[in-house]
Structure 1
């Protein structure tokens, strides 16, 4: 638990998932250690979202997965959710995955004595997009099937492995092979990630804090860009005195400062001066959203000097809810 706590402290984590699978989850001592650590972290970190993920089978989960539930109950430990991974185990599409979730729902009720609604509220699912390790196929339509089930039954978690695979291979089917960097199905970038965004919209978290970017004078009519907002292609925002249009789905990509070129610069708003970014007499390197910074790193952004409090990547100085950057004043 102490080692995990160091990670929580360093990165200001809001959530943590314990992925318990082969071969470790066949070791009862190891399972007790992991569950005990999760329980300590839950107790010592108010508001930390703790989830436990284990293997999925057509019957919900297997013998060792049931041991995870039984041991959690014996410890008096109730995480925010128990999730299963319904893939790599003889599944065939979304219908078989939702059937497994129903079986797992029954296991949760029987193990913990929960009502049906309470069991659903403590249940989650972790999917695999496209072609699985075992050659099962889970295209976008199957993700929609599971999303419909998750939202209609009030599941508390809907996620997948992995965002890094949420892109099309070349050729699209990857010659019938599974890849760790693409999905092996025909798709546009981030199609599977959009399902998780829809799930978040079905059970909204607390409203994100407003952007701290100071409004620019002039006649910008587009809403200000916010790093916490998910934008679809064609969305328009104002940022740094310019109007920008999203080319595709995006979240957290700073207009004018991302390697993918997500945003099209439509020019300065009428009457707005064009900011210089680093501006003034700044001698520090300009902030870059694709660069990983360690605590103590200094950058220039929007005419100010900034110091990172801890490791960060993609968090815009002055415009993130975690307050990663210390504003050292204007250049």
Structure 2
């Protein structure tokens, strides 16, 4: 049912007098009033946001304070230990992973070795395992001054992520160092790919229950980072990379330093970088620890003679920089490089020419690592830390190298297995003592411990050729240089005139045996 609406008689109203008699609110004035109310309400929100922007939240804690020298993987043979030296036991930064070539998006060690080649020729996997068993944290550095950085060569972020992941997975890495120089620093598009790839890596690691610490290492001027350096940090932070810190290369300034020492110049540069990072983090509203930008900074001098002829970083410079680092509580101290932390020998005539193997300054009984590492004994967490395990039994059928024998001769860098560990000869040696003889000092022993035999090792095998390829070796026959023979199918070539010398001795004696393997 429906109702008929009741009819109402309009009532007469007397106009109300307001504060301003005779004035009525027009629709326009009503709209203006509403606008004012909205602006005032918005201001109540905008002011706190502005204050937050100018004063970003403080991170709860700073990261560990650690020392870690760089170890140039391709500049040292297998008998050189990355942890041989005071101060080098906590963290080792292995460098450098670069693109295999200017057109190949594949990780390599300095373009010289693929990851698998470094495993077989440098025993790098085993050495990393050995370092961890000794309590060292192992980090990997991508980039460097030479060759092509992966982000420059890999044309997509996905391909770059895969290349990075191969390295992380192979070596179980939880700390990476992005050493950006030259084209790797200046190429903005490569920087964008790098930032996206690193974000993906950190997400992958987080999903697997581990963290990935990411450091970016940059060149500096005496007054601070270059514009490109600041832009590189901004690009990483903008993309969402959780940076562990910014490592400053306090070296190779290439300008007249006047009367300033290398330490004084480095400290001036670090002060400049501190101010730059403080401003940058604040502008991006990225929180810093309570200690400020110092807590996300590192310093890396080039010890001794720098690439710039007039720049020499002395032991006194190291002491001054170390004092400054402890005073400011820098998060990290490094050095280039562990390989160079020793006095050059007497046969190296011009120490002003940079050597990969010595510092170029007289060190006496001191090491740069020992000075720079003072007070820095933390290490980043290492999910891949390896506990000591029961050595595997020596078995010729499964051993990755020949089992040591007192009756064989071994040339420099030849590797053997003994009591479940791999050793490398420091020089030509034959006979005892055994490689693991506990009475031998580091100077007197002919062997250096490389690392344990791993369960995943491939067994050592010699090359063979089909039957009839070469004649069988005969002890009574004379062989001229270049002659080829086989022993049980293994091919050998004579290096000079020989008679009655067993070719099999050439497997381990590359110096004095007249025979060499035909690979």
TM-score by length of 2: 0.41
Q: Is 1:176 aligned to 2:352, yes or no?
A: yes
Of 82, 85, 93, which aligns to 2:246?
82
**Are 1:145 and 2:320 matched, yes or no?**
yes
- Offset of residue 166 of structure 1: 1.4
SS at match of 1:174: coil
Change (3 A) 1:255 1:111: same
In structure 1, what is the Cα distance between the partners aligned to 2:452 and 2:366?
A: 21
User: Unaligned regions of 5+ residues in structure 1, if any?
Assistant: 215-253, 268-286, 300-331
Which residue number corresponds to residue 169 of structure 2?
A: 9
* Aligned-pair CA distance for 1:255: 11
User: Deviation of residue 149 (structure 1)?
Assistant: 1.6
Question: Given the two structures, how large is their TM-score scaled by the length of structure 1?
Answer: 0.62
What's the counterpart of residue 184 of structure 2?
Answer: 24
Instruction: Indicate whether 1:111 and 2:280 are aligned.
Output: yes
Alpha-carbon displacement from aligned partner over 1:150-208 (angstroms, at most 9, x marks no partner): 2221211111111111122134773422212211111257712224543532x466798
Equivalent residue of 2:358, what SS? coil
CA distance in 2, matches of 1:256, 1:71: 44
- Distance, in Å, in 2 between the alignment partners of 1:213 and 1:174 is 48
How far apart, in 1, do the equivalents of 2:239 and 2:379 lie?
31
In structure 1, what is the Cα distance between the partners aligned to 2:172 and 2:188?
A: 30
What is the CA-CA distance between 1:122 and the residue it aligns to?
0.9
Q: Distance in 1 between matches of 2:262 and 2:375?
A: 19
Flag the structure with larger Rg.
Answer: 2
- Say if 2:302 and 2:336, in contact at 8 Å, map to a contact too: yes
Q: Give the RMSD, CA atoms, in angstroms.
A: 3.7
- Contact 1:163/1:190, CA 8 A, preserved across alignment: no
Q: Go from structure 1 to structure 2 and tell me whether the alpha carbon gap of 1:70 and 1:204 turns closer, same or farther (over 3 Å shift).
A: closer
Distance 1:163 1:141 in 2: 18
- 2:457 counterpart residue number: 296
* Structure 2: runs of 5+ lacking an equivalent: 1-160, 392-419, 428-434, 441-447, 461-519
Change (3 A) 1:255 1:49: same
Tell me: higher relative CO, structure 1 or 2? Use CA pairs within 8 A at least 6 residues apart: 2
1:157 alignment partner in structure 2:
332
Matched, 1:51 2:215: yes
Partner residue in 1 for 2:361? 185
* 1:96 equivalent in alignment to 2:265: yes
- CA offsets per residue over residues 262-287 of structure 1, 9 Å max, x none? 999459xxxxxxxxxxxxxxxxxxx9
In structure 2, the residue matched to 1:133 is 307
Match of 2:229 among 43, 61, 65: 65
